Chains A and B, each alone.
Chain A
Amino acid sequence: DAKTTQPPSMDCAEGRAANLPCNHSTISGNEYVYWYRQIHSQGPQYIIHGLKNNETNEMASLIITEDRKSSTLILPHATLRDTAVYYCIVRVVSRVSNYQLIWGAGTKLIIKP
């Protein structure tokens, strides 16, 4: 099963773009990359996911490298409410693995005024 590596913590100034990197060098061709965030031990909140192409929604953009070995989550205009732990997750696709979400330790993002 593919695993992910993220920096344990990052800072970003309020109003600037926050770029959160994730390494998933062992990802298989049919495994998706998901991003969730968790604010102070609340339930995780879905942000975005992708397979090969870059994706954008109202919350963020996801940039996946051509070789799919890494990705970057971009919060375009970070606010104080974006302070949270951000998880980059690879979703196993096989029925045997039952479409699990495999979580790492995440990146603690602190937005500073």
Chain B
Amino acid sequence: DAGVTQSPTHLIKTRGQHVTLRCSPISGHKSVSWYQQVLGQGPQFIFQYYEKEERGRGNFPDRFSARQFPNYSSELNVNALLLGDSALYLCASSLELGAGGVYNIQYFGAGTRLSVL
């Protein structure tokens, strides 16, 4: 079975540009979460979606936005890119949205590495 897939795998942009990252969850998974991971640090939560509705937002500026589509895939958009946005962007999916139990385990994709020059 296919895991969480993210595209593209690598991306190079310049300051001020816009970027769209894509995520396809594991088949049947209704929840998608986005994380940013800067080199040497643990992932930081950006957004969480469940059944196409935003259910959580981390401490990120309004330049970051996301959406989830009827097929549960998701996009993360970042406007007006800054050098500090360079990071590995991770997408995770889970069957349901909750705290414990096997249905709420988040499974991660390989990530999109974004470099802003």
Contact = CB atoms under 8 A, between A and B. Distances in A.
Interface of A: 30-32, 36, 41-46, 49, 51, 87, 91-93, 97-106
Q: Report the interface size class on chain B.
A: 20 to 34
Most buried by A among B56, B99, B104: B99
A43 B111 contact: yes
Interface of B: 4, 33, 35, 40-45, 48, 55-56, 58, 88, 90, 92, 97-100, 104-111, 113
Contacts of B45: 100-102
A16 B96 CA distance: 37
A105 B4 CA distance: 24
Contacts of B40: 105
Nearest to B31: A99
A104 B97 CA distance: 22
